[in-house]
Amino acid sequence: MKSFSGTTSFGGLPRRWCWYPPQVAALSLLMLALSIGVSLAQAPSNPKPRDHVYLLRGFANVFSLGMDQIATRLKHQGIDTTVDNYLSWPTLAEEAATEYKSGRVRTIILVGHSSGAVAVTGMATRLSELGVPVKLAIGLDPNIAHDCVRTRRPLCKLLRRE
């Protein structure tokens, strides 16, 4: 930079036309904030409702590890999944109802193995009481004989090994 009579120049421009680094940084941050605000405003406020499959493992989570494999395959197809122990069904039912009523979930499918198969019927009943339809409830090898629950759209399968 050259200095003539107390004024400096930058790239041949007089000092009054030059920006100081703090001014440049402030302007850059302002432009970044505006671009983020515009992109957030353009994002859809309600994403498309999705399907959700709840997979309930049996006792001690030892003999139901196939549920994890099913969940992985479903996730690869773009389907949301939750895998948990059968004892978690009351909490999962409340969460599923909240998601459904918010519009984030459109279809709920329940799958359980062994003790999880029995828990699926309890979860479907609770969801029905909350006014949330269950599209399909599947019990794989339930450890006790149990009748299918009646939901608004009853479709329940209990597959038992002989």
CA angle, residues 161, 69, 104, in degrees to nearest 5: 105
From the DSSP assignment, how many helices (H) and strands (E) are in the chain? Answer: 4, 8
Contacts of 154 (CB under 8 A, 6+ apart): 148
Give all strands (DSSP E) within the chain, no chain letters.
3-4, 7-10, 13-14, 50-57, 80-85, 105-113, 136-140, 156-159
Are 66 and 16 in the same domain? Answer: no
Percent with pLDDT over 70 in the chain: 60
Kindly report, residue by residue over 33-52, the tens digit of the pLDDT: 666 655 555 555 567 889 99
One domain, residues 98 and 149? yes
Comparing 125 with 46, the larger pLDDT belongs to: 125
90 and 56 together in one domain: yes
Within this chain, do residues 61 and 139 fall inside the same structural domain, yes or no? yes
Q: Are residues 37 and 82 in the same domain?
A: no
CATH number of the domain where residue 136 is located: 3.40.50.1820
Q: Report how far apart, in Å, the C-alpha atoms of 16 and of each of 7, 30, 35, 93, 103 are.
A: 9, 21, 28, 66, 56
Same domain? 31 vs 72: no
State pLDDT tens for residues 7-36.
555 555 555 555 555 555 555 666 656 666
- Both 15 and 64 in a single domain? no
List the structure tokens of 80. 């949301």
Whether residue 131 is found in the same domain as residue 78: yes
Q: Is 96 helix (H, G, I), strand (E, B) or coil?
A: helix
Number of domains composing the chain: 2
Residue 142 structural domain: 50-159
Q: Are 83 and 105 part of one and the same domain?
A: yes
Average pLDDT in the chain: 76
